[in-house]
């Protein structure tokens, strides 16, 4: 019991500190970037529901999960449903098409941040229409592989505009709200701004110009525990923070071999 109480206390403290850092970083942004307060997504993967309940009780609403089965288990948990009626689940892991139906069935699903192919977008569109009917729309982001690393998920830079166009033109049940990247870990800021963040901003500009989208209508999801302040200063509107709120990762969630994590996010470290 003492261990649980201490864990809950640490989550409350972690949330408070992270929120203060988000506010401070937001104030350092250029005036044109201060119109939108960054969305804080608490990455709760491998964490017990008690800590999610604690964070929710202290005002947190957006939670991110990497594993399909873990999202399904937590999203359908009766206590979470009962006590967290306003919860907003973000799926931030690599999503295979054969798992789409499980993801869209989750109560409180708010945003899928990792749409990286036309085929996945279409599968989500079809599944969401079957789940919710015509007219309802699921928020999504297009994941871009800004670092070009083979081990990272996301569409190639040259495919970004086509992916966004496909979602806008061919997926009426999806609402594209932004672009997301993981990027390379361990960038030394003494060497200058993170090139992955620069790259995603460039892609944002190119996509908006090519498709006639207002720059304010295409969010940027970039930044985790070790670099979220820098990401916010560079224009991120959505930061995914795990260990700075919940502490070090617990043992990997028990999933099947085909239920994979979005490569890289599992290395989120305390800053």
Report domain extents, the chain.
Answer: 11-241
254: exposed, middle or buried (Cβ count in 10 Å: 0-12, 13-18, 19+):
exposed
Q: What is the DSSP letter of 263?
A: T
Each residue of 50-94: pLDDT tens digit?
Answer: 999 999 999 999 999 999 999 999 999 999 999 999 999 999 999
User: Using only C-alpha atoms, what is the Rg of the chain?
Assistant: 18
Predicted local confidence at residue 250, as pLDDT: 59
Nearest to 204 by CA among 264, 266, 160, 263: 160
How far is Cα of residue 5 from the mean position of the Cα atoms in its chain? 28
Entry field: residues in the chain: 271
Predicted local confidence at residue 249, as pLDDT: 65
Positions in the chain whose pLDDT score sits under 70: 1-6, 9, 249-271
Nearest to 92 by CA among 70, 107, 122, 60: 70
Predicted local confidence at residue 7, as pLDDT: 77
E-strand ranges in 50-135 read 62-65, 88-91, 109-115
User: Measured between alpha carbons, how far is 36 from 237 in angstroms, rounded to an integer?
Assistant: 7
Our separate counts of H helices and E strands in the chain read 10, 8
Predicted local confidence at residue 32, as pLDDT: 82
Place of tokens 């350092």: 28
Contact between residue 222 and residue 181 where contact means Cβ atoms under 8 Å apart? yes
Predicted local confidence at residue 94, as pLDDT: 96
Q: What is the signed CA dihedral for 20, 22, 28, 32, rounded to 10 degrees? A: -130
Predicted local confidence at residue 263, as pLDDT: 44
Count of Cβ atoms closer than 10 Å to residue 10 Cβ: 15
Predicted local confidence at residue 268, as pLDDT: 38
How far is Cα of residue 179 from the mean position of the Cα atoms in its chain? 10
pTM of the model: 0.89
User: Measured between alpha carbons, how far is 127 from 173 in angstroms, rounded to an integer?
Assistant: 9
What CATH topology corresponds to 11-241? TIM Barrel (3.20.20)
């Amino acid at each position: 019991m003492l261990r649980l109480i201490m864990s809950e206390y640490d989550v409350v403290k972690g949330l408070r500190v992270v929120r203060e850092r988000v506010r401070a970083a937001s104030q350092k942004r250029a005036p044109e970037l201060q119109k939108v307060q960054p969305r804080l997504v608490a990455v709760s993967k491998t964490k017990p529901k008690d800590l999610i309940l604690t964070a929710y009780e202290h005002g947190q609403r957006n939670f991110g999960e990497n594993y399909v089965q873990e999202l399904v288990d937590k999203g359908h948990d009766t206590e979470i449903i009962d006590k967290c009626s306003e919860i907003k689940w973000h799926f931030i892991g690599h999503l295979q098409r054969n798992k789409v139906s499980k993801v869209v069935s989750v109560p409180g699903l708010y945003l899928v941040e990792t749409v990286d192919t036309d085929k996945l977008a279409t599968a989500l569109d079809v599944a969401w229409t079957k789940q919710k009917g015509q007219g309802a729309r699921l928020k999504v982001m297009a994941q871009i592989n800004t670092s070009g690393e083979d081990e990272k998920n996301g569409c190639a830079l040259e495919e970004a505009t086509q992916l966004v166009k496909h979602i806008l033109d061919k997926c009426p049940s999806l609402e594209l709200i932004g672009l997301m990247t993981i990027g390379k870990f361990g960038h030394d800021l003494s060497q200058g701004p993170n090139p992955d963040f620069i790259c995603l901003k460039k892609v944002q500009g190119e996509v908006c110009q090519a498709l006639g989208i207002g720059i304010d209508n295409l969010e940027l999801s970039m930044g985790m525990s070790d670099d979220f302040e820098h990401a916010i200063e560079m224009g991120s509107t959505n930061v995914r923070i795990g260990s700075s709120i919940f502490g070090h990762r617990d043992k990997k969630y028990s999933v099947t071999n085909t239920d994979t994590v979005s490569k890289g996010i599992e290395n989120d470290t305390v800053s």
